[in-house]
């Protein structure tokens, strides 16, 4: 990816940039990642702390035990709640940055998927779902549903 790559929280108060290539980028399907993303998985770049720099805003921390017996220290924007990165105090030289917070997340290509035992079953058929190029038309969908029609 082109460096430095900028990122921010959803409200924009927290901004950062990445000045080194990540070691690798991973998709995680674990239940913790489903909670934190409020979705089906999270995408994380595992990188050296020396390549990550906060540019503005202040982060708040929250921590939890991990399945492997360690501690995940989770840093997030206190204004919008957006998770920015995680760290493990036992491995202080590494940070795990949530790639969805990059201004252009498409610069990264995940290389591996973890916790497949927790993958949501519908993801196996994800590419078969009907697609809409932009926003799904809620009003039209509601009208179709009320008439007993398949909205998609």
| Binding-site ranges for Zn ion (CB under 5 A) | 9, 11, 13, 28, 30, 33, 77, 79-80
Q: Closest CB to Zn ion among 1 and 40?
A: 40
Distance CA 116, CA 118 (A): 5
Q: Closest CB to Zn ion among 18 and 72?
A: 72
Q: How far is the CB of 117 from Zn ion (least distance, A)?
A: 12
Place of tokens 């921390």: 61
Q: How far is the CB of 123 from Zn ion (least distance, A)?
A: 14
Q: Closest CB to Zn ion among 4 and 114?
A: 114
Distance CA 85, CA 97 (A): 4
Please give the C-alpha separations between residue 91 and each of 14, 16, 47, 85, 134, in angstroms, as whole numbers: 24, 21, 11, 14, 41
Q: How far is the CB of 34 from Zn ion (least distance, A)?
A: 8
């Amino acid at each position: 990816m082109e460096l430095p790559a900028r990122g921010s929280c959803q409200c924009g108060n927290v901004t950062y940039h990445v000045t080194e290539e990540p070691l690798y980028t991973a998709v995680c399907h674990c239940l913790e990642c489903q909670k934190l993303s409020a979705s089906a998985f999270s995408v994380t770049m595992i990188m050296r702390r020396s390549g990550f720099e906060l540019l503005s805003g202040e982060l708040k921390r929250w921590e939890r035990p991990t399945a492997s017996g360690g501690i995940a220290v989770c840093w997030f924007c206190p204004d919008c709640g957006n998770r920015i990165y995680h760290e493990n105090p036992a491995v202080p030289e590494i940070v795990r940055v949530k790639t969805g917070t990059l201004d252009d997340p498409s610069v990264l290509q995940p290389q591996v998927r973890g916790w497949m035992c927790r993958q949501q079953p519908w993801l196996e058929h994800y590419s078969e779902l009907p697609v809409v190029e932009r926003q799904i038309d809620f009003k039209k969908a509601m009208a179709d549903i009320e008439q007993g029609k398949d909205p998609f």
